[in-house]
Amino acid sequence: MKPIHSLLFLFLFFFISEKAVSQNRALVIQSDFGVKDGAVAAMKGVAYGVSPELKIFDLTHEIPAFNIWEAAYRLNQTAAYWPEGTVFVSIVDPGVGSSRKSIVMRSRSGHYFVTPDNGTLTLVAETLGVTEVREIDEHTNRLKNSNESYTFHGRDVYAYTGARLAAGVISFDEVGKIISGDIVKLPYQKAAVEGTSVKGTVDVLDVQYGNVWSNIPQSMIIEAGIKYDDMINVKILKAGKLVYQGRMIFGRTFSAAKEGQPVAYLNSLLNFSVALNMASFAQRFGISSGPDWTITISK
């Protein structure tokens, strides 16, 4: 026996293993279905049926019903923490059955997003960049024998296509034709520095704790001359009408303020945020989130 044969076997072994790994990327599912019924489990059954080796995860299924903005936000909050090649399926679909397209976007970061084209990709498209968008061809990418069901695209088209892409059963090219125009995007107030003050959107609440998160990045805080331990003014408005106005410390952590007192800080996305130490800011002051809610800060 020649040593070359031994090497050949080892090569084969690693080649097969490697192929299996490279074709089995994570599938991460998000929806507004909740987990009280069987909808999520049916989607996972379909995905598992595509390949028992798939790694299937939940992003969240508690997106408020029909809230596309929050779906967009949650994708943007998490996608970058998953490896290149991860396939995200997001199903918040108030227009199910209408003429909205079903698409898969590949980001510059190498992530895939399977979703109705309704604004869900507004934020990840900006943050991660877009290399290519394809419309799902439902003639080839739809669970067999599901044609008569008009209302569960999440299971029959999105989970099925996402699973086949993640498992390497189809390539990205086989999803369907390239879309030439732009994807649907939701309008919102972008963060901006105006002299020594900064303006932005309350884009989401940290719901478990009632903290108020904005889309203002650390760099704009620095640009406006605001430093840790400075006292700052914060205004929060709904549709231009003042809802909260107050003065608080810009701390490195919640413990920069006394228990029950307001504190401004950088959240885990390094964006400007407001909290009460050990209590709910959103609940005490009646703050909500979305494109309607703006925030202004100044020294």
21 closest CA partner among 166, 173, 170? 166
The answer to the question of residue 49 lying near its own copies (CB under 8 A) is yes
The Cα 231–Cα 4 span in angstroms is 71
236 touches 243 (CB < 8 A): yes
The answer to the question of residue 284 lying near its own copies (CB under 8 A) is no
Shorter beta-carbon distance to its own copies: residue 75 or 297: 75
Q: Which of 23, 26, 127, 291 lies at the binding interface for its own copies (CB under 8 A)?
A: 26
Q: How many residues bind its own copies (CB under 8 A)?
A: 78
- Residues 189-228 binding its own copies (CB under 8 A) are 204, 206-209, 218
144 CB burial (10 A radius; 0-12, 13-18, 19+): exposed
Least Å distance, CB 106 to its own copies, is 18
The answer to the question of residue 8 lying near its own copies (CB under 8 A) is yes
Q: Which of 23, 39, 132, 186 lies at the binding interface for its own copies (CB under 8 A)?
A: 39
Least Å distance, CB 13 to its own copies, is 7
State the residue for tokens 């205004």: 235
Q: Which of 68, 69, 72, 74 lies at the binding interface for its own copies (CB under 8 A)?
A: 74
Region from 113-121, 172-180, 186-194, 264-272 binding its own copies, contact rule CB under 8 A: 264-272
Residues making up the chain, counted from first to last: 299
60 touches 30 (CB < 8 A): yes
Shorter beta-carbon distance to its own copies: residue 2 or 241: 2
The answer to the question of residue 278 lying near its own copies (CB under 8 A) is yes
72 touches 122 (CB < 8 A): yes
The answer to the question of residue 58 lying near its own copies (CB under 8 A) is yes
72 touches 117 (CB < 8 A): no
- Residues 75-114 binding its own copies (CB under 8 A) are 77-78, 81-83, 86, 94-98
Least Å distance, CB 258 to its own copies, is 13
- Residues 133-192 binding its own copies (CB under 8 A) are 148-152, 155
Shorter beta-carbon distance to its own copies: residue 108 or 252: 252
Least Å distance, CB 23 to its own copies, is 11
25 touches 19 (CB < 8 A): no
Least Å distance, CB 53 to its own copies, is 8
